[in-house]
Structure 1
Amino acid sequence: MAEARALMPALLERADEFVSLRGDLAELAQDLREHGRSESGGLPEAKAMEARLDEIIGWFGTQGVEVKGVAPLLVDFPAVLGGVPIRLCWLEGDRELAWYHRADVGFAGRRPLGRI
């Protein structure tokens, strides 16, 4: 758990960038579909945004973090608690690592870390 908590500042930095960029891309794509143009750019800018989003997602994997969803951004840190595989669970909007769930139960079994 200490390793996951130590990674949180870097995770939050990338998550904030991801969320902002995801919103920018959604607006750009909608403008292009609706009007054929956007103040944010065109297809080259959309492709650049997509590439950066992919880079950020790739970073999570290099850190051993599992990306479970992108809208909202949801990631799990594999861990073991009392011999039981768990996932330390972080959801977009959280500012700290405060939740976990058993690996075999998933998000529906999410519990506050304060209970362990």
Structure 2
Amino acid sequence: MNQGIRNADCTLFHKEWNEEARRDVWNCMQLPGVSWYSKKGISVGTTGETAEDTVVIRVYTQQALTVDTGDIITPGLVTAQVNSSADILRQFPDSVKVMRVRDNRRGSPQMRHWRIEGE
């Protein structure tokens, strides 16, 4: 039974507004057994070269996943109390910012997943 390539673990840092505290709070969720594919690249423009590194993460689940653009994903299973995206990037410099989220929970049950693209 093929369930996609599961070559990594990662942790999702999701930002939510806390009305009581009147500020954003960051919650972390460990995601074991994901597919992690990264591609390094550059683009050349009038101002010079710009890095265009991208990451595609597939989270194989039939359940709902709370993830939004602007959230941050770091490789590995980690736990941390953070107050900002800067805190996350300082502690986990290999993290990526979520740019796109696609719900691919259709088709055969073993292939249903969330596709998360980041930079």
Decide: shared fold, TM above 0.5.
no
TM-score (norm 2): 0.24
Higher-RCO chain (CA-CA 8 Å, sequence separation at least 6): 2
Structure ranking higher in strand proportion: 2
Which structure has the larger Rg over C-alpha atoms? Answer: 1
Structure having the larger proportion of residues in helix: 1
